[in-house]
Chain A
Amino acid sequence: MINYISRRVAVMIPVLILISMFIFFIIQLPPGNYLDSYVALVSSQGETISAERVQKLEERYGLNQPVYVKYWKWVKGFVFLDFGNSFQYDSASVWSIVKQYLGYSILIAGSTQIFMIVVGIPIGIYSATHQYSFGDYFWTFIGFIGLSIPNFMLALILMYVGYFVFGIPSLGGLFSEQYVTAPWSIAKFIDLLAHLWIPVVVLGTAGTAGVIRTMRANLLDVLNMQYISTARAKGLKESVVIYKHAVRNALHVIIMWAGMRLPKLISGSTVVSIVLSLPTLGPIIYSALRSQDMYLAGTVLLFQCILLLVGNLVADIILAVVDPRIQYN
């Protein structure tokens, strides 16, 4: 097992290097460079920037140098969490911006992931074991509604209902006003939980519906397998047959899907984050792309790729635990 994991981690490193190259290539694509835009920005505000400073910055990013040198200058700072500077945010370092939002992004994405699985799998099992019953049709109906309503729409509906029906002033954000700047405390944590469920439900509804449908279909397949008859023929209780013998064999697709979904929860949550004013990376990459803040956009992109790789690795490890055949293939 350790062998398997270390092999997988070892493979991730060259992949990450390739990804960083690709991202750097994308950063370089727009005409002009970051410094041109920076100088233009500063002079448009009526200030001048000294030639000395321009030269200093040019040197720092090696802007006059060939692409591979520039790439190296960007990459070599990674180990020290130096990803260059943003110019939207007064030249603040990209890392100082990203780290403000990364935690909340992962918190929301992770909670949503857990929500989808914890809600979706049991309903999927129920649907499969009660195929064509009223309950099955009911959850199928709910599932398709969940799949077809866009997230941001659900967010707007929730906010509308919350405000006009229940009189809750704002369902947005992750904290109540008094806690936003307050230091961490138990009260702040409880306040966070009280706010967290809204984005989690909004972001997780479509995914939950997907989990329900996938789980139902897979479990129905597995229930037709010969080894399920074997398990029943042993004299096992039906519940043991389902939970011990069937469900474990029906989880593969869900595990893989959950791993691939991790970065999608960040990029896919942009509109919802804007609607619900959530402190996630979604709106950051959105505005960075709009204002050509390329180092910031590139770095967020890089983090999403890392999340994808980590998600896949975790999924593969869980798969190997669930199904002993995986390690050997």
Chain B
Amino acid sequence: MSSSNCVIDVKNLQTFFNTENGVVKAVNGVSFSIEKGKTLGIVGESGCGKSMTSMSLMNLVPRPKGFIAGGEINYFYEDGSKIDITEYDHDSEKMRKIRGNEMAMIFQEPMTSLNPVYTVGDQIIEAIKLHQNYKNKDELRERAVKMLKKVGISAPENRVDEYPHEFSGGMRQRAMIAMALSCNPRLLIADEPTTALDVTVEAQIINLMGELQKDMDMSIMFITHDLGVIGDIADEVMVMYTGKVVEKSDTKSLFSNPKHPYTRGLLNSRPVIGSKKRLEPIEGSVPDLLHLPEGCDFYDRCPKAMEICKNEDPPVFEVEDCKVKCWLYREEEKAS
């Protein structure tokens, strides 16, 4: 898929880690693409490879243990030319020009994602200086102030000279967003950006991201384990389990008609306001990535497990525009 609207196209991405006990396949055969101005949500439990997928996109997999073992990550520039990120060294000039400039990232922990020893302004200016053609000190500062204002920080002229410890958690996340967006990236990767924040602040940040997205016509890859948040912001959702995509569909049908038993489990294990139904948690826990079962990785926890699931890992079936990695849909695909 290389339509002119595509910003990033990932094919069969494999990101592995060498550990003392063997190779951990943190991301194992993930494929997706994001179109201009759209938001892809990635959901899954801890350790399912969400964050490693985003780190792979930035070519920032923790070295020396982690490495991209296979697949393609094609990034499409504004002019339509493309680059396969997996072919470049993490510290190469081409990669550095993509990072922060074409693709930017915000992280889960706003309390620690800004360097404590530099002012917020300095850290924003650092990014602008790197990628944009502002040379003059005043211009750079003005731009940083403008960005802080854009993300809703009051009195930005003063706050630009403050240190991160003088900011609250929500403010720091706003500052992070300001920094990430300061060079007008075309793709924003948000790795659980609201997990560490209060619910009220969370809503503000999500709204802010939505507004800025419209404003800048930017694509977002939004990683979270919170299905409620995903419903608010994503156009399309990808559910991950043990480093693999188990279901991918547009947001509406994911909520109204979840297909994979794991997705259903996730939806049933979250409270719905007004409902008196008991929560049904998914039994068991995520299997050890070093000792994955022979068949389907979800077999042990799956309420609908069948004989075939035990021995054979299911392929991806396409059902009603959704992609599901589950044997339950073998017949349906044939029928449709």
Give residues in A with beta carbon < 8 Å to B: 131-132, 225-227, 229-238, 245, 248-249, 322-325, 328
Given A324-B163, A325-B163, is A233 in contact with B58 using a C-beta cutoff of 8 Å?
A: yes
For B130, what are the chain A residues with a Cβ–Cβ distance below 8 Å?
Answer: 234-236
Given A233-B99, A235-B98, is A249 in contact with B116 using a C-beta cutoff of 8 Å?
A: yes
Interface-located stretch among B100-108, B142-150, B291-299: B100-108
Contact A233 B100 (CB under 8 A): yes
Q: State in angstroms the CA–CA spacing of A237 and B99 once bound together.
A: 11
Contact A249 B176 (CB under 8 A): no
Task: Knowing that A230-B179, A232-B99 touch, tell me 17 more A-B residue pairs with CB under 8 angstroms.
Answer: A131-B64, A227-B114, A229-B105, A229-B113, A230-B114, A230-B115, A232-B58, A233-B180, A234-B99, A235-B96, A235-B99, A235-B130, A235-B131, A236-B96, A249-B117, A322-B117, A324-B165
For A132, what are the chain B residues with a Cβ–Cβ distance below 8 Å?
Answer: 64
For B116, what are the chain A residues with a Cβ–Cβ distance below 8 Å?
Answer: 227, 249, 323-325
Residue of A nearest to B176 (CB): A230
Given A225-B112, A235-B97, A236-B130, is A324 in contact with B107 using a C-beta cutoff of 8 Å?
A: no
For A230, what are the chain B residues with a Cβ–Cβ distance below 8 Å?
Answer: 105, 107, 113-115, 123, 176, 179
For A324, what are the chain B residues with a Cβ–Cβ distance below 8 Å?
Answer: 116-117, 119, 163, 165
How many A-B residue pairs lie within 8 Å, measured between CB atoms? 79
Chain A, interface SS category: helix
Interface string of B151-171 (1 = CB under 8 A from A): 000000000000101000000
For A322, what are the chain B residues with a Cβ–Cβ distance below 8 Å?
Answer: 117
Q: State in angstroms the CA–CA spacing of A170 and B109 once bound together.
A: 60
Q: State in angstroms the CA–CA spacing of A132 and B99 once bound together.
A: 28
Is B333 in contact with chain A by the CB < 8 A criterion? no
Contact A237 B114 (CB under 8 A): no
Residue among A232, A245, A248 with max Cβ neighbours from chain B (10 Å): A232
Q: State in angstroms the CA–CA spacing of A22 and B297 once bound together.
A: 71
Show 13 A/B contacts (Cβ-Cβ < 8 Å), sorted by A: A226-B107, A226-B108, A226-B112, A227-B115, A229-B113, A230-B114, A230-B179, A233-B105, A234-B100, A235-B101, A237-B96, A249-B117, A325-B116
Is B91 in contact with chain A by the CB < 8 A criterion? yes
For A235, what are the chain B residues with a Cβ–Cβ distance below 8 Å?
Answer: 96-101, 127, 130-131
Is B83 in contact with chain A by the CB < 8 A criterion? no
Q: State in angstroms the CA–CA spacing of A249 and B112 once bound together.
A: 12
Contact B117 A229 (CB under 8 A): no
Is B60 in contact with chain A by the CB < 8 A criterion? yes
Q: State in angstroms the CA–CA spacing of A229 and B118 once bound together.
A: 15
Contact A249 B115 (CB under 8 A): yes
